[in-house]
Amino acid sequence: MAQNNSSALESTLTRNWLRRGPLACALWPVSLLFRLLSGVRAALFRAGVLKSSRLPVPVVVVGNIYIGGTGKTPLTIWLVQALQAAGMRPGVISRGFGSSEEGARAVTATSTPAQVGDEPLLIRQRTGAPVMVGRDRAATGRALLAAHPEVDILITDDGLQHYRLQRDVEIILFDGRGAGNGWLLPAGPLREPVSRRRDFTVINAPQLTPELVRAVTPELRTVAVQMTLVGEYAEQLRDRTRRKALAELAAQPALRIAAAAGIGNPARFFGMLKAAGLRIIELPLPDHHDFQDRPFAALEADLILMTEKDAVKCAQIEELSDDPRLWVVPVTACIDRALADQIVEKCRGRSIA
């Protein structure tokens, strides 16, 4: 019951964060206090009153100011692979949402989502780069560098507001929702003002309209880059060597296809599948859903398509890992290669180990 009430509250706020309606206006005075406190905290770090740590290699933060999911994990995977292709040796640090352990810990092939979080595990599987999770990003970064001295650049998955770790490059990611109603929590969806400085702005949307770009980069001198997520095939969860092209599935109208997504913005995944011509039964789930409630038990469908982030958890549950209906749709972030080149160039000012 508590989870249902929490989901209902989240859904109500999410809808109201897109406009300046009565609820948002009622919460606006509270958002001013939130803005004041977050602004004071950031200023104290800038002034050196609150201490921060600098690591011996360049640090790139991939984050968002819009609460919830905007596509950080696909962007992080793309960036790691682009840096690897450029001859660098990146490592990744992350908070590890839902992790049950304290301290810095490595993400390995035998790690579970309960131990390290679903997103770090996916990043490790997709890139092969060293990944370490921990609440203290600076301590986690030092632990990763000690374990992997070959690493010459660190990517922080999220952690934009973790000012205890100094950074060389900040990338802020938005999606098609832009900045919502433009207000800070709890009246709006923003953790920090949209005018917050950054080095690069990435917009995860099928089209970059002038209105969308202005909404997320008001009067800022920042490079705005488009990102699109593309999925072309599905792999069976219990046998990842079995593949079906999405175009092939779309050509079979008799198939009953459901789509499940426990991510920050499930509509983005559903929209991608619809754009591929699929007719789907939508099953949106809470972000970081653990699937212990067996949400597919009574679902009448021939195929159930899911995200890779959800698949890393379902693969750990025997009943789900053996369900032949479950198929995973890997997505690839498509971004102009020039972004990686510019990030490398910005890091050249620091000695890279």
CA distance linking residue 100 with residue 97, whole number of Å: 9
CA distances from 85 to 79, 80, 337 (A): 10, 9, 11
The low-confidence residues of the chain, meaning pLDDT below 50, are 1-3, 352-353
What would the pLDDT profile of 318-353 be if each residue is shown by its tens digit? Answer: 999 999 999 999 999 999 989 999 998 888 766 544
CA distance linking residue 168 with residue 345, whole number of Å: 11
Cβ atoms of 165 and 182 within 8 Å: the answer is: no
CA distance linking residue 231 with residue 326, whole number of Å: 16
Cis-peptide into 130, omega within 30 deg: no
What would the pLDDT profile of 60-111 be if each residue is shown by its tens digit? Answer: 999 999 998 889 999 999 999 999 999 999 999 998 876 656 789 999 989 9
Q: Could you tell me which residues are annotated as the binding site for ATP?
A: 66-73
Q: Which one-letter DSSP state was computed for residue 97?
A: T
Q: Could you tell me which residues are annotated as the binding site?
A: 66-73
pLDDT reported for residue 297? 87
pLDDT reported for residue 305? 98
Give φ, ψ of 141 to 5 degrees: -65, -45
Strand 223-230 relative to strand 332-335, pairing: antiparallel
pLDDT reported for residue 100? 57
pLDDT reported for residue 2? 45
Cβ atoms of 314 and 322 within 8 Å: the answer is: no
